């Protein structure tokens, strides 16, 4: 049973104005219901680091895109995966864990970055570029639909994009769909010709360098952690460019005690809750998609076991190949066994 007082003392570290005792009493009641339903349905709940703080309370695993893909592939006992994140992440969970029912509690939770790359447009662009570059390799960020992944040679996440592109045998690489990450990877890999797709994340692209410089001016020792979906004039101000879980690990293990996480605001909430002995400043924006899933949605989805994510067999196989290649090119020791056995 969740205790509203304990819940309030924890969650109010993220937002004291919102997490009042009254709100936390209501949240505690819903969390108890989720715990019962998870048991009844034999379900695990995976949550992305940007989700609402109350969702973390019932998550079996919280992480970045790479961590969530690994966890989804390693689910053993559960029959159902309740995926609290956005649509492309739930698709990835289905690709790597095809025998489980994967539920996205709110189907409106999409991703404007993934929406910038359409499979037909990508097919055309690949054909056009192959006429110019005979060795063209195509790498797609995990923030793409499964249909787009199926057209790519390898997938990557913010945690391993530079390593995946470096390990590709091709010099000429089409990187889909984030032009900011393409520019960041190009700055790290001068030996590659990285051709960007013209997409960006509306959340990260809006963050301005002045927001960081203002905080740095009064906190010269602050460690600035920037997500690689940010623009290059923002990444240049960073002590480290990291995935969301990379930021959490950095803040936990660093000797510094002040940090600025430059990404979606959910990460600042998570850091305030999970690393209470350190101080976190904010230069963040909210992703409307990541905040769409509520505890009510989770309860309804567990009661009805929908909306379910399904994929055409051919698309799933193509996407699985690109995801498997990511593990082969980087951390093969972390290759989930479920991917090893699939051809
Ligand atoms: P991470 O994989 O770093 O968590 O990023 C996912 C994402 O959507 C960032 O906007
Ligand atoms: Fe997509 Fe940007 Fe939201 Fe991440 S923060 S889910 S990239 S829209």
Q: What CATH number does the domain containing 180 carry? A: 3.40.50.10800
Residues 126 and 44 in one domain: no
Q: Does residue 205 register a pLDDT over 50?
A: yes
pLDDT tens for 88-112 read 999 999 999 999 999 999 999 999 9
Residues 129 and 152 in one domain: yes
pLDDT of residue 336: 76
Per-residue pLDDT, averaged over 178-198, amounts to 98
Q: Quote the tokens at residue 208.
A: 């301005």
pLDDT tens for 16-48 read 999 999 999 999 999 999 999 999 999 999 999
Counting residues of the chain whose pLDDT is more than 70, the rounded percentage is 98
Residues 33 and 95 in one domain: yes
Residues 121 and 106 in one domain: no
Residues 92 and 11 in one domain: yes
Q: Does residue 343 register a pLDDT over 50?
A: no
Atom of ligand 2 nearest to the CA of 114: 1
Q: How confident is the prediction for the chain on average, in pLDDT?
A: 96
Q: What's the gap in Å between 244 CA and the centre of ligand 1?
A: 6
Residues 16 and 162 in one domain: no
**Cα(313)–Cα(15) distance, integer angstroms:** 43
Q: Does residue 135 register a pLDDT over 60?
A: yes
Burial of 120 (0-12, 13-18, 19+ CB in 10 A): exposed
Select from 39, 28, 37 the least CA-distant residue to 5: 28
Could you tell me which residues are beta bridge partners of residue 139?
154, 175
What spatial distance separates the first Cα and last Cα of the chain, rounded to whole Å? 45
Residues 332 and 184 in one domain: yes
**Cα(122)–Cα(309) distance, integer angstroms:** 23
Residues 125 and 194 in one domain: yes
Q: Does residue 203 register a pLDDT over 60?
A: yes
Q: What's the gap in Å between 164 CA and the centre of ligand 2?
A: 21
Residues 62 and 106 in one domain: yes
pLDDT of residue 76: 87
Find the domain containing 294 and state its range.
Answer: 4-110+290-304
Q: What's the total number of domains in the chain?
A: 3
Residues 179 and 316 in one domain: yes
Residues 196 and 220 in one domain: no
Q: What's the gap in Å between 77 CA and the centre of ligand 2?
A: 30
pLDDT tens for 303-325 read 999 999 999 999 999 999 999 99
Atom of ligand 1 nearest to the CA of 157: 2
- What is the torsional sign of CA 5, 7, 9, 11? negative
Residues 134 and 169 in one domain: yes
Burial of 105 (0-12, 13-18, 19+ CB in 10 A): buried
**Residue 148 near residue 140, CB atoms below 8 Å:** yes
Burial call 141-165: b when 16+ CB within 10 Å, e when fewer: bbbbbbbbbbbbbbbbbbbbbbbbb
* Stated pTM of the model: 0.95
């Amino acid at each position: 049973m969740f205790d509203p007082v304990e819940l309030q003392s924890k969650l109010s570290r993220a937002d004291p104005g919102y997490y009042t005792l009254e709100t936390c009493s209501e949240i505690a009641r819903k969390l108890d219901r989720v715990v019962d339903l998870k048991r009844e349905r034999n379900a695990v709940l995976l949550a992305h680091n940007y989700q609402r703080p109350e969702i973390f309370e019932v998550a079996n695993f919280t992480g970045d895109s790479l961590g969530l893909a690994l966890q989804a592939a390693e689910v053993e006992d559960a029959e159902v995966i309740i995926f609290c994140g956005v649509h492309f992440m739930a698709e990835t969970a289905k690709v790597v864990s095809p025998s489980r029912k994967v539920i996205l509690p709110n189907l409106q939770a999409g991703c404007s970055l993934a929406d910038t790359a359409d499979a037909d447009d990508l097919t055309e662009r690949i054909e056009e570029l192959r006429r110019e570059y005979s060795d063209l390799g195509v790498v797609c960020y995990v923030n793409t639909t499964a249909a787009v992944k199926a057209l790519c040679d390898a997938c990557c996440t913010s945690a391993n994009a530079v390593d995946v592109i470096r390990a590709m045998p091709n010099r000429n690489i089409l990187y889909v769909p984030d032009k900011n990450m393409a520019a960041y990877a190009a700055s790290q890999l001068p030996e590659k010709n990285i051709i960007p797709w013209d997409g960006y994340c509306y959340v990260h692209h809006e963050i301005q360098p002045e927001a960081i410089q203002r905080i740095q001016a009064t906190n010269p020792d602050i460690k600035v952690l920037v997500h690689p979906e940010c623009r290059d004039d923002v990444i240049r101000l960073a002590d480290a460019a990291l995935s969301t879980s990379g930021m959490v690990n950095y803040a936990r293990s660093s000797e510094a005690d002040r940090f600025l996480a430059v990404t979606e605001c959910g990460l600042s909430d998570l850091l305030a809750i999970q690393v209470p002995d350190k101080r976190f400043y904010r230069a963040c924006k909210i992703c409307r998609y990541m905040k769409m899933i509520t505890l009510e949605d989770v309860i309804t989805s567990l009661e009805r076991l929908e909306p379910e994510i399904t994929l055409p067999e051919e698309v799933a196989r193509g996407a699985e190949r690109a995801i498997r290649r990511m593990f082969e090119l980087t951390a093969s020791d972390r290759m989930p066994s479920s991917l090893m056995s699939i051809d």
